[in-house]
Structure formats: C-alpha cells, structure tokens
Amino acid sequence: MLSEKLHTALNEQMNFEFYSAHAYMAMAAYCTDQDYDGFANFFLVQAEEERFHAMKFYNFLSDMGYRATIQGFESPGNHFESILDAFKTALSHEKEVTRRIYNLSDIALDEREHATMAFLKWFIDEQVEEESTFDTLIRKIERIESDSNAVFMLDAELAARTFTPDAEA
C-alpha cells in the first residue's frame, strides 16, 4: 500500500520519463537535420532508454496495485545552437531527473516504504551513469569542436550505439 503522496509522485516521475523521451527525440531531430546521423542515433537510443525507464515506473505502479495515469506535457525545446548545445541541454535535463529521483527517494525514506526504496535504487545508480555519459561527451565535443574530421569520427562512433536494456529489468 502506497500513500497518496508517494503514489502520485511515482506516477509523476513515470510521466517525466516519457517527457524525457520526447526531449531526446527533439535533439535527435536537430542532429538529423544537421546531417549528423550518428549523434541523432545516440539521441534516438536515449529516447528508447527513457521509455524503458517510464515503463519500469508503469510496471512498479501496477505491481503495487495502482493504475498508471498517462498525462500530457509541454513541448520540449526544439531549438539548439549547436551539437554541443544539444548535449549541454541533455546534461542539464539529466541533472533535473536526478533531483527528481532524489526527491522521490526522500518521500519513500520518510514513509519507510522499503519496496519503493529498493525499486528506486536502480534509478539512483542509473543517474550516475547518465550524467557521466553526457559529461564525457561534452568534454570530448569541446576538445574537438574546431576539428571537423574529429567531429565526424565521433559521429561515426555514436552511430554504433544500440539499446540494450539490462537483463534483470
């Protein structure tokens, strides 16, 4: 049995993960438009990951005896100055996700809701990975920004990214 507060917060996070997929689709579309198909692929895979995150919340709510409520959301940003700007926007988005996951964990901890705390542990670990991935790519792009050959090489590298959900999911 989840409290109304916790159940609502979990549902909100599910919707925010769906929104994250949307935000990454906008970044993918920008990269496609710039003919950077590898960067676009990176963001398309990221969007798939976000839908997978949302479905974890959907399934957890269901397992706990609640129905997920699907909500609409504002349009994500569609304007980017550069590839670097898209990645910086992505990192700040992930920092916001981390803030929200921590807030959710605080509620679960306050209520001593151990099942939810165990469920959220995966997301706490995942956010360390997400922030690190974007941080590393930003530093790489900053280093090679003025070297178009190097940018194309990174684009080719990111074209190889595929969606691989973890085995226990």
Question: Using CB under 5 A as the criterion, which residues of the chain lie in contact with Mg ion when the complex forms?
Answer: 17, 50, 53
Contact 138, 39 (CB under 8 A): no
Contact 38, 157 (CB under 8 A): yes
Nearer to Mg ion, 50 or 155 (CB): 50
Nearer to Mg ion, 35 or 166 (CB): 166
Q: Tell me how far, at minimum, the Cβ of 39 lies from Mg ion, in Å.
A: 19
Nearer to Mg ion, 33 or 96 (CB): 96
Query: What letter does residue 81 receive in the DSSP assignment?
Result: S
Q: Tell me how far, at minimum, the Cβ of 101 lies from Mg ion, in Å.
A: 9
Q: Tell me how far, at minimum, the Cβ of 17 lies from Mg ion, in Å.
A: 5
